[in-house]
Amino acid sequence: KILVTGALGQIGSELVMKLREEYGSDQVIASDIRTMDGDVVHSGPFEILDVTDDQKMHDIAKKYQVDTIIHLAALLSAKAENNPQLAWNLNMGGLVNALEVARELGTKFFTPSSIGAFGPTTPKDNTPQDTIQRPTTMYGVNKVAGELLCDYYYHKFGVDTRGVRFPGLISYVTPPGGGTTDYAVEIYYEAIKKKTYSSYIAEGTYMDMMYMPDAIRAIIQLMEADPDRLTHRNAFNVTAFSAAPEDFEKAIRKHIPEFEMDYDVDPVRQSIAESWPNSIDASAAREEWGFRAEFDLDKMTEDMLKKLDSKLKNANHV
Ligand code: VAH
């Protein structure tokens, strides 16, 4: 059985449904700090869990006899930069609690890192799997510490920990909460609703991106990978493509020719974005567990606009 924390978030809300489809609804226990109407809560076991409550996490894991923990509960980069102390307590406190439960119950363990685990002194183009990591954001500090902690629990206690460094994730099911790459999600909503978008990230700012179906597949593929093939564990660079705001504008215009974008740069999120790589090297993930993204920018844009259009139309009919 699999316990997912942060199950109502951008990744969790889709991962839970995919895991329930693959392994059976009663095999996947979704948890989050609050409940919310919808498939995640109604299609299988759901528990209210604040991941800073170690006893509650232990009790839930024990109650369901889980053998895998997928720990997604966290504050993303922009929110973390605005509230660094809360970010440390939630991102690190939650992670330590989850790793301790994994150690006590002997479960497998997954938690995502991010391209945010790299900083301004990291080589920016084709960023290597193993390279300098001195991020200048609280989120990045959390991600580097998290990677080191997960590797420690593997080497010291034999906990089977695995992780990926996610790029910006784009999806139409649940919006991200307070990230720097969220512009790449907002632009699609605005393109459909208003045919215009004002980007808070400046023209020419390249970041790695990935469509959520590829991200979900990456998590499942890594967790099912043969452990003997893994020389890395926390965490693998993964990406689908590198893009700047104007690339999204061009891709969207192929479907909505009248779409217009302008810029209203947010200095906080712009400086976070500039401290991250332009593009990362994901060859280790390909070599060690065969990961290949399937959606490039154009293929993602076609699917995203189609799915989002019908979602927004249905929402209006409610
Ligand atoms: C964020 N979407 O913007 C997350 C992610 C690489 C970006 O970590 O904080």
Residues ≥6 apart with Cβ < 8 Å to 175: 10, 182, 185, 186, 189
pTM above 0.95, yes or no: yes
C-alpha–C-alpha distance, residues 261 and 287, integer Å: 39
Give average pLDDT by consecutive 10-residue segment, the chain, 318 residues. 98 98 98 97 98 98 98 97 98 98 98 98 98 98 98 98 98 92 97 98 98 98 98 98 98 98 97 98 98 98 97 82
C-alpha–C-alpha distance, residues 60 and 2, integer Å: 11
CA angle 39, 42, 47 (to 5 degrees): 110
CB of residue 57 inside a 6 A radius of ligand 1: no
Element (H, E) at 113: strand 113-114
Report whether 103 contacts 118 (CB < 8 A).
Answer: no
pLDDT at res. 318:
56
Whether complex ipTM tops 0.90:
yes
Residue 180 Cα: closest atom of ligand 1? 3
Report whether 71 contacts 98 (CB < 8 A).
Answer: yes
DSSP β-bridge partners for residue 109? 69, 161
Q: Which two tokens stand for residue 297?
A: 């920018």
Specify the residue for token string 């693998």.
236
DSSP 92: I
CB of residue 114 inside a 6 A radius of ligand 1: yes
Distance (Å) from CA 35 to ligand 1 centroid: 24
CB of residue 76 inside a 6 A radius of ligand 1: yes
